[in-house]
Amino acid sequence: MKKIGQFSFILVLTLFLGAGLMIGCAIDDGGGDTPQSPVDDEGSGGGKWGTITDIVNVPGSPNGIVVDSQGNFAYLTNKYALLVLDLATRQLTKNYALTLDIGSDLNGIVVDNINKTDSLVALHAFGGAAIADVEDGSQVELISASAIYGAAFAQGFLYAPSFNDRVVYAASIDGSTQQTINPYPEGGKIAGPCSIVSTPDGSTVLFGDEFNNAVHAIDTSTNTVIATYVIGFKPKHIVPIDENNAVIVHEDDGTVAFIDLTNPAGVPKLVSIDSLEGVEDLVIDPARTSLFVLHRKKIEYEGDNYGLYQPEVVVLDLSIKTVSSRILIDDDKPASWPDYDLAITPDGSTLLVAGEETIYFLE
């Protein structure tokens, strides 16, 4: 997912997820295209999540953050390096210089996700997509293209959407093959690929198409588009709930769309969340019951409103599709247009939010 920005920081929120959030998720297949407001959209001020207990400085402006499957390490990038954060000691333990030439502009190279064996991380920048070995930091460019907005692993391939080329590229991890995936091979329409994710089992890759306000599904066994879901807005932020359901969050107006991946002709279930502008990133907890939405919240600073923002995490209970809490990160360092990134540990206890050269620990 594209999380490029010049202003960011890393925040670690330790969440004590209650039993109510650990129940199974039930997706409503019904509903029309009119957004419905959640019953509880006020949430809490974040008190149940604790307070900042530690602060660690991070060099540069981090772009993207991922956590391995054991919850031992987090991986992030700044403009110059791939950094390794030991989550037990809360220390940066490794710093690998970025040697890739994939069109990294002022925003740098972004780390997107980690493969199933915790051995490789996916990287992207405007001019391409690559992989990096987490043990020795070696990097290999697999895809060279224009306007790459994300990268995702699935079934031995790296997938990357090219907005300018109007396609998704799929490159085998060993570099032996590369395929081009076009959702409209017969012409008539062109795609505007703007985001990409894979389902938990890797059987399907979903990518957003902002020209057609749609999400397309790729069968990773054949690398062909098998379904298209009309959302009604630009799908820049997508998270699979499971192999059969996904959620898409509008970038600025608070609309959340739930889609049934088994029914491409179905109408998305829409929910409206108040005060949810400037969405930066999404993650879902390992139990697949809570969605965490990181966005920019406009604030007043020192008595004046100069258009400054601080990060806020909005927690959505997926079983009832309502906001359960809001966590405003009051770090006393608001920025004019910051970018943030979000990750979660595999036990669901800790959220990590990346940006602004700082790591905050909330416990």
Q: Map tokens 């190279």 to a residue.
A: 109
Write out 63-113 in H/E/C secondary structure. EEEEECCCCCEEEEECCCEEEEEECCCCEEEEEEECCCCCCCCCCCCEEEE
Q: What pTM did the predictor assign?
A: 0.86
Beta bridge partner(s), residue 348: none
pLDDT at 60: 81
Could you tell me if residue 70 is left (phi over 0), alpha (psi between -120 and 50 degrees) or otherwise beta? alpha
3-state secondary structure of 253: coil
Contacts of 312 (CB under 8 A, 6+ apart): 294, 295, 296, 297, 326, 327, 328, 329
Superfamily of domain 9-362: YVTN repeat-like/Quinoprotein amine dehydrogenase (2.130.10.10)
pLDDT at 114: 96
pLDDT at 30: 36
pLDDT at 67: 93
Q: Where are the domains of the chain?
A: 9-362
* Nearest alpha-carbon partner for 206 in 195, 221, 222, 190: 195
Per-residue pLDDT of the chain (363 residues; tens, 9 = 90+): 444 433 333 333 443 333 333 333 333 333 444 444 333 334 333 444 446 666 778 888 788 899 999 999 999 998 889 999 999 999 999 999 999 988 655 567 899 999 999 999 999 999 999 999 999 999 999 999 999 999 999 999 999 999 999 999 999 999 999 999 999 998 889 999 999 999 999 999 999 999 999 999 999 999 999 999 999 999 999 999 999 999 999 999 999 999 999 999 999 999 999 999 999 999 999 999 999 999 988 887 666 556 788 888 899 999 999 999 888 876 666 776 677 888 898 988 888 888 778 777 666
